[in-house]
Homo-oligomer: A and B are copies of this chain.
């Protein structure tokens, strides 16, 4: 069983990389596998719970998170300044498996947060990113991707359209995807037809993050599974109707 720790970390930076999207950097030596996440908080009792965020990047002495401002929790995170502290519980979840061969990483919107570390760790992967608005962090991905294609609504920073328009599973041994459910479903459709193994990272509301409360359960073909402990990464055939 992996060790999990509850730690405080000092904020180093919290830059708005796109409207409502922040890259939060914090100090400390952290170990997480690609696709794992942390439960994050920087408040006392309101809101009550931690917020799950994927480890976006790790470097010696630093961890970073890429997050969008959605509600109260992420709004409070976005107000953090360097020197302030946040609480981190993790690393949590299974993370992406070791890739079996040629790998495509497909991310939609903030789903790209779960893929950067994968691109970095699993060298040689092609990366496909889709953005509803203006693309962000494309240059960072370019540095770690074997190939990179970007889709956006306006075509800015790449091609016009959805990430599902520019991605085809042909030629890959596996695809790892993270993003909104309809995007995952479309990619599953394509991978299933092409016979390419698809792994997806899911999101559910979480209370404990550790596997104890059964708040994040999804129903799969193999029975109920906890996104926080059995996931967040699942084989697509487990969670989508084939």
Contacts and interface: CB of A to CB of B under 8 A. Distances in A.
A48 to B, nearest CB: 10
Contacts of A44: 46
A70 interface: no
A33 B46 CA distance: 36
Interface of A: 44-46
3 contacts: A44-B46, A45-B46, A46-B46
Interface of A is mostly: loop
Nearest to A43: B46
A58 B44 CA distance: 33
Contacts of A45: 46
A45 B45 CA distance: 9
Nearest to A44: B46
Nearest to A46: B46
Contacts of A46: 44-46
A193 to B, nearest CB: 50
A73 B24 CA distance: 28
A167 B46 CA distance: 47
A46 B43 CA distance: 10
A46 B72 CA distance: 14
A45 B43 CA distance: 12
A224 to B, nearest CB: 34
A74 to B, nearest CB: 15
Nearest to A48: B46
A46 B45 CA distance: 7
Nearest to A72: B44
A44 B76 CA distance: 11
